[in-house]
């Protein structure tokens, strides 16, 4: 009988093959398990990062609301209440009625401005280019603002989108006035059937890349962009100003 026909030799080869198959299966299963574990850990880290990011945006939203309340309270206390207190004092000292009437007119105008800041009147019936014009016009006394409007559609934006865009314009111009040390601002608005585009550029001091990630303004902008399902980009360089581009898709 040939050696390879020996039952012990056959049994040995069968055992070797079985061990080899199980070894290969073990390594295949181990590789698959390791890959699955790494993928699960990566997904978990990604989900954790997204959760932390959403938490940060929520905190920013609360901070922005509180900041807005403080600003309105300061407007009421320092401006409107101050004017009314002066009117009351002067009325008690017998000042001419014409002077009191003039001061009352100023107080009414101030109350109207504060009310306008809270919710622009007739927002549902006003187009977005005029609403933004109303936002930036008061800043003309401090900044040289050039405003370009390019409207290529008769489609109207919803009041919810309009109010968010108005707030974005307010925040951008306010931040430019406070921090950028700019003298000129250029605003481009384009509205087409496909999207709404807003570009705000200034000639201020600019910022380094790391500085752009800090502060309430950029987080607040990102929060509004998520609400609008929009895209945005902020570019800046030291001494070369800052440009903010916003693209809101048509809905």
pLDDT in tens, 15-71: 888 888 888 888 888 888 888 888 888 888 887 877 777 767 666 665 666 666 666
Residue numbers of the domain that contains 91: 1-118
Predicted pLDDT of residue 118: 63
Residues 1 and 99 in one domain: yes
Residues 58 and 69 in one domain: yes
pLDDT in tens, 77-129: 666 777 777 777 777 777 677 777 777 777 777 776 666 666 666 677 788 99
∠ CA 219-225-229 to the nearest 5 degrees? 145
Residues 220 and 138 in one domain: yes
H or E element at residue 75: none
- Stated pTM of the model: 0.57
Task: Output DSSP code: residue 152.
Answer: -
Residues 86 and 61 in one domain: yes
Residues 139 and 209 in one domain: yes
Percent over 70 (pLDDT), the chain = 78
CA 237 – CA 208 distance, rounded (Å): 6
Residues 234 and 131 in one domain: yes
Structure-token pair, residue 132: 């933004």
Among 60-74, 96-110, 174-188, 207-221, which range has the highest average pLDDT? Answer: 174-188
CA 4 – CA 22 distance, rounded (Å): 24
- The last residue of one of the domains, among 82, 99, 118, is 118
Predicted pLDDT of residue 216: 47
Residues 73 and 151 in one domain: no
Q: What average pLDDT does range 155-172 have in this prediction?
A: 86
CATH number at residue 192: 3.30.565.10
Q: Look at the chain and report how many structural domains it folds into.
A: 2
- The last residue of one of the domains, among 96, 118, 140, is 118
Contact 199, 233 (CB under 8 A): no
Residues 102 and 2 in one domain: yes
Predicted pLDDT of residue 17: 84
Percent over 90 (pLDDT), the chain = 16
CA 168 – CA 164 distance, rounded (Å): 6
Residues 110 and 125 in one domain: no
Residues 209 and 133 in one domain: yes
Predicted pLDDT of residue 211: 62
Least Cα distance to 182 among 242, 124, 134 occurs for 242
- The last residue of one of the domains, among 93, 118, 143, is 118
Residues 7 and 98 in one domain: yes
Q: What average pLDDT does range 212-241 have in this prediction?
A: 78
Residues 100 and 185 in one domain: no
Predicted pLDDT of residue 20: 86
Q: Is the pLDDT of residue 199 over 90?
A: yes
Least Cα distance to 57 among 249, 190, 226, 197 occurs for 226
Predicted pLDDT of residue 227: 81
Structure-token pair, residue 103: 């001061």
Lowest mean pLDDT among 111-120, 132-141, 179-188: 111-120
């Amino acid at each position: 009988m040939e050696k390879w026909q020996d039952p012990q030799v056959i049994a040995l080869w069968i055992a070797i093959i079985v061990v080899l198959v199980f070894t290969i299966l073990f390594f295949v299963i181990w590789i698959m398990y390791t890959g699955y574990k790494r993928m699960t850990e990566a997904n978990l880290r990604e989900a954790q990062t997204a959760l932390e990011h959403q938490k940060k945006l929520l905190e920013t939203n609360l901070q922005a609301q509180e900041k807005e309340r403080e600003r309105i309270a300061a407007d009421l206390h320092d401006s409107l209440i101050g004017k009314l207190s002066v009117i009351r004092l002067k009325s008690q000292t017998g000042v001419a009625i014409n002077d009191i009437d003039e001061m009352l007119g100023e107080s009414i105008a101030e109350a109207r401005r504060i009310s306008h800041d809270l919710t622009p009147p007739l927002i549902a019936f006003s187009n977005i280019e005029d609403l933004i014009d109303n936002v930036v016009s008061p800043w003309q006394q401090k900044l040289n603002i050039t405003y370009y409007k390019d409207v290529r559609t008769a489609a109207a934006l919803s009041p919810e989108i309009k109010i968010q865009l108005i707030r974005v314009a307010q925040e951008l111009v306010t931040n430019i006035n406070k921090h950028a040390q700019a003298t000129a601002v250029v605003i481009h608005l384009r509205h087409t059937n496909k999207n709404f585009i807003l570009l705000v550029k200034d000639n201020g001091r600019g910022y380094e890349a790391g500085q752009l990630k800090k502060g309430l303004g950029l987080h607040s902008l990102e929060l509004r962009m998520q609400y609008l399902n929009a895209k945005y980009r902020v570019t800046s360089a030291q001494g070369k100003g800052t440009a903010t581009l916003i693209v809101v898709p048509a809905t």
